[in-house]
Amino acid sequence: MSTQARATLASLTAVMLLTACAVGPDYKRPAVELPSAYPDAAPNAAANPEQGMIAVDWWTLYGDATLNELVASTLQNNTDLRKAAAQVDEAEAVLAEVGSALLPEIDLGASSSRSRSSSLNAQPLPSGTPPIANTNRLALSTSFELDFWGRLRRASEAARAQFLSTRYAKDVTALTLASATTQSYFVLRSLDAQIAATQQTLASREEALAVIKNRAAGGLASELEVNQAEVARADAALQMRELQRQRALMEHQLGLLTGKLNLQIAAGDVMNLPAPALPPAGLPSTLVERRPDVRQAEQALIAANAKIGVAKAAQLPTFSLTGNFGGSSKELSDVLKSGARIWSLGLNAALPIFDAGRYAARTREAEAVQRQALAAYQKSVETAFKDVADALTNVVQSTAATADVQAKMDAARNALRLSRLRYEAGYSAYLEVLDAQRTANAAELALAQNRQAQLLYSVDLMKALGGGWSPSAAAPLTQR
């Protein structure tokens, strides 16, 4: 290697070493002040930061095979999830495209031409030069921007963060869909229980109507009592139709979620579903790691932070290497011979001198976007804390209310029994029986609704704690 070539190589090496610096702020996770524990959390909930982690298939804790099949269908067939997966693929392609700018692009060019020169020009062709000539060229060429100020690396950092944000967005979608499917199923099962209770009420009122008609025929009941019994029976029938309508709509909703529009689910009972053992809430600070929506907001902040460096680097000089290497010859068969070799190497520099404040404005714009992303991240953490606190309160209160709702139903049933005995013995009017029937029916429906609320709130807590998702699932991606 010649001395000149060595000097050139040494200069380029020095330039490449200088590209290790990068303008713009380096990302550091911002601190968000949160209470040390959740309201209504168990006393030992803050003992271990790892507590509160939930299995990926958390819906299986309810022990219902039908529910497991519905959630599996949702995660496989739902169009929102397929769209989110395609968005991840798009973001990954963008990341690969942006990252490729850190390496030189090498192009292979080939050309072949045959031309004739005029012999009547003011300057004639040199003696012995034929007017017709062939030119064949084969060369590798490149143009490579040296990342002197880290512009390309900051752009790659931003694209990487946007890619991860899209991945976390897909996790948010999956968690949301699994939760929506589970809660819709619980509502449907609650409607099944309410329909069963209303069927019993309707049968009881039809029986009572028949008895009162017989009593009226024997002169033991008035026409008013017959009409009151008919109204009570019609009310139960209308209630039944309304509950059946709501069940059909909920079944349609589950069909949309699972991608099975002709879905039909056999009747069941919400009272047969076990409430899973709920995990302790853990430390509020761990939400930053557990919740995919918080991680999504953080990646958006990282991307906005990196784009400040991109904007600042645009105000500084850019340096590019250009070069080509190949062969040029008259005969195509000679283009690869050493005598036909051609090459060139160049270094270009460009510096914006006057831009009317355009690049400075872009930097301020990037900084403003970063502040917006910071506020959004902080809000996502605060919202996550509120979600867990709300879910804990709802679970605690709905569970505590169970005993009261059960006692109310037992008392209402007993009051109905006694009112019937009093009416049959002639001690009270039929209106007392009607009031007792309405109270008993409302108490039976309230029991099913309370059970539904318990199950729905337990799903809310699992979702709020980042159920079905773990930061370790994204570890291979963050190491790309």
Amino acid at 2: S
Q: Report pLDDT digits (tens) over 277-326.
A: 776 667 787 877 788 999 999 999 999 999 999 999 999 999 888 999 99
The secondary element (H helix, E strand) that includes residue 282 is: none
DSSP summary character for residue 148? T
Is the predicted pLDDT of residue 246 greater than 70, yes or no?
Answer: yes
How many angstroms separate the CA atoms of 289 and 282, rounded?
Answer: 12
Contact 294, 287 (CB under 8 A): yes
Dihedral sign, Cα of residue 295, residue 301, residue 307, residue 308: negative
Give the DSSP per-residue string, 207-249: HHHHHHHHHHHTTSS-HHHHHHHHHHHHHHHHHHHHHHHHHHH
The secondary element (H helix, E strand) that includes residue 462 is: helix 430-464
Q: Which residue ranges make up each domain of the chain?
A: 24-103+149-316+358-478, 105-117+129-146+318-350
Report the pLDDT averaged over residues 183-196.
95
What's the predicted TM-score (pTM) here?
0.83
CATH topology of domain 24-103+149-316+358-478: Outer membrane efflux proteins (OEP) (1.20.1600)
Query: Which class does domain 105-117+129-146+318-350 fall in?
Result: mainly beta
How many angstroms separate the CA atoms of 22 and 472, rounded?
Answer: 29
How many angstroms separate the CA atoms of 261 and 191, rounded?
Answer: 20
Amino acid at 257: L
Contact 456, 179 (CB under 8 A): no
Q: Report pLDDT digits (tens) over 338-362.
A: 888 899 999 899 888 888 999 999 9
